[in-house]
Each structure stands twice: as C-alpha cells, then as structure tokens.
Amino acid sequence: MAQRAPLVVTANPLLSDLVRSLAGDAVTTHCLLPAGVRYQDYEPTSEDAKVLADAALLVVNGLELEPSLEPLSFEAGFSGEVILAGEGFSLLNTEGELQDPVTGPGTDQGLPDPYAWHDPRNVRTYVQTIALALSDLLPTRAAEIDAQLRVYLQQLDAAHAYAEEQFAPLSGNRRHLATSLDFLGYLAHAYQFTLVPIPGPGAGLQPSSPAAQMLADGYRQLGYPAVFVPADAGSRTLRFIASESDVTIVASLSEGPGTGESYLQTFRTNVDAIAKALRIPDVSALPQPEPLNPIMHELPASALPPERE
C-alpha cells in the first residue's frame, strides 16, 4: 500500500503555490483561506481545526497577517511544526519605512507591512525557509526539493529583472504610485516608486454621484497619469471616474495569487499593469501628420519654381 503524502496546511494561496513548486505531489496541501477572501480577512472555522489536527506542517506568513491562527492551532491540538516564512529580510512598516532589524515589529516604528512577497527578492527567503522544512519532513526527497529550489530561485531572479526592465523607462511623475491599495509598499520600495496615498472609490459608490465627481476632480488635480484602486466600486463607476478625471484607473492589481494561481504569474501581471498605465505613449505608433502642402510635396523638383538669388 502506498504511503499517504504528508499534509501541509498553508495560511494562504501564495504559500500553497510555493510549497507545490518545491515539493510537487510529495505532499498534500490544504489552504485555509477560502477563495475570494482577502489574505488579512481570514476567519477560522471548525472544519479548519479538524484539517489542521492532521497536518505535519503549518506554513504561515507571519508579520501579524494571520493573528487568528495561533488560537486555531491550540483548538486543533496541532502538534506539527509551524513554519514562519515571512522573516529573515528587511521589513517595512505600513508607512513604507524600513524597520530596525534589531528592535523589529511591535515597537514605536509602527505596524509591520505583511505583504513582503511583492518584492521577489524577499520570496527567495520564503522558499529557502519552506524548502528546509520540507527537506526535514521528507528526507528521502531532499535532493529533489533542493533541485526545485534552485530552479525557483532562478525564476525569482528573472521576475525581479523583468520588473526592473519594465519600470526602467519611467521617470518624473510616472515614478509615483497614487493608490488606495495597502499592499504595494514592498514593490514601491524595491523599484524606487514613491507611494502617494489617495482615497479610493468604495463599494456602493454610484456613477455620476457628487461623491464620484469629487473623487474624479481630486484625481485630476493630482497630476499623475494613473491611480491604482480596488475594484469595489464596480466597472461603471470606475469608467465614470476615468472619463471625468482623464486619468487611467487601474483596478486589476492583486494582493497575491488566488486559489490555484501562480505567484510568479501574478507578480508579472501586476508589473505589466503598472508599467502599461504609467508608460509614456509611443509617439511613433500614433498617426503621423500630413505634409502642410501635399500637392507641392508630390511635385518633382523640376516643377518647383526656381529659387530667388
């Protein structure tokens, strides 16, 4: 009888993707976060406790992203190992400022920004930490896990280089991320953007309403080519704000991969959306003006009047 693969429970789809990328079908993964729920909005259920009771590993982000998992572990009687993936690199607080690595989170430096995976260089630490735990769990598969780790590290380096290449042409006010999203701090820090906090269009905001018009006026006055907001308000409202403000409204950025999605693809999709919105239009691709005098332009030189001396 084949031995059942050990169960690895993860706090969110990002961590599930990293575990699968390293261990493949050598483990069974179960993500606690339901589809469509924001990472920070997870609420444990009794079913989660039952699943966790049988797990060999629990992989979490840390940085105060999953405060409810500690009581859940206690309730489940979880006796496996907790893997804290989000540590071992320079931390930012929620204001986008670097934290002192000695004093760390929970001090007067402010709350830690938990969305560290928006810099692929931090994800190198994530996968190295996870790979070490998986190798301890599956010693006979350690060489395979290490090989997958080396491949994934190269892919992360390529993702970072791709982002640098896409953002390199941007300068001036195109190096500002005007946003109401709370997860872009590490991306802004990694690629030298200035974060500009703005109010976002909330759920229930109606197109053509005074509040929507006021928001559009405010975006136009900012003077940035694009703003980055959640999709809560709905497409009709976002289109109204875009038309009234003459600003590109980007409501497609993701805080992380969803269920079954890839971190590497999600990161690249975010990079492409930001770069496209902020990129200066290619003038060569625009229609070229006609010659001022097309008739004179087409005449042979012999037909032109002689130049006066």
| Residue-wise pLDDT tens digits, 221-257 | 999 999 999 988 899 999 999 999 999 999 999 999 9
In DSSP terms, 92 is beta-bridged to 98
Hey, how many other C-beta atoms are within 10 angstroms of the C-beta on 5? Answer: 15
Closest CA to 215 of 185, 180, 181, 188: 180
- Average pLDDT score over residue span 145-170: 98
Cα 201 from chain centroid (whole Å): 20
Top pLDDT among 267 and 102 is at 267
**Cα–Cα distance list, 134 to 59, 81, 142 (Å):** 11, 11, 8
What band does 2 get if pLDDT is binned at 50, 70 and 90? Answer: low
Closest CA to 16 of 270, 252, 266: 266
* CA angle (115, 117, 122) in 5-degree steps: 120
Domains located in the chain, CATH noted: 7-166 (3.40.50.1980), 170-285 (3.40.50.1980)
Mean pLDDT check: name the lowest of 6-15, 87-96, 249-258, 265-274: 87-96
* CA angle (129, 54, 88) in 5-degree steps: 15
Q: Indicate the average pLDDT of the chain.
A: 89
- Average pLDDT score over residue span 55-61: 97
DSSP collapsed to 3 states, the chain: CCCCCCEEEECCHHHHHHHHHHHHHHCEEEECCCCCCCHHHCCCCHHHHHHHHCCCEEEECCCCCCCCHHHHHHHHCCCCEEEECCCCCCCEECCCCECCCCCCCCCCCCCECCCHHHCHHHHHHHHHHHHHHHHHHCHHHHHHHHHHHHHHHHHHHHHHHHHHHHHCCCCHHHHEEEECCCCCHHHHHHCCCEEEECCCCCCCCCCCCHHHHHHHHHHHHHCCCEEECCCCCCHHHHHHHHHHHCCEEECCCCCCCCCCCCHHHHHHHHHHHHHHHHCCCCHHHCCCCCCCCHHHHHCCHHHCCCCCC
Give this prediction's pTM.
0.87
Please state, in angstroms and rounded to a whole number, the distance separating the CA atoms of residues 130 and 87: 11
The per-residue pLDDT for 4 is 87
Top pLDDT among 306 and 258 is at 258
Residue range 25-45, pLDDT digits in tens:
999 999 999 988 999 999 999
* 210 conformational bin, left if phi > 0, alpha if psi -120 to 50, beta if neither: alpha
The per-residue pLDDT for 280 is 75
Please state, in angstroms and rounded to a whole number, the distance separating the CA atoms of residues 121 and 132: 18
Whether 292 shows a pLDDT value over 50: the answer reads: no
Whether 290 shows a pLDDT value over 70: the answer reads: no
Please state, in angstroms and rounded to a whole number, the distance separating the CA atoms of residues 22 and 85: 14
Residue range 77-120, pLDDT digits in tens:
999 999 999 999 999 999 888 886 544 544 456 789 999 999 99
152 in Cβ contact with 125 (< 8 Å):
no
The per-residue pLDDT for 232 is 86
Q: Which amino acid is at 30?
A: H
Cα 153 from chain centroid (whole Å): 18
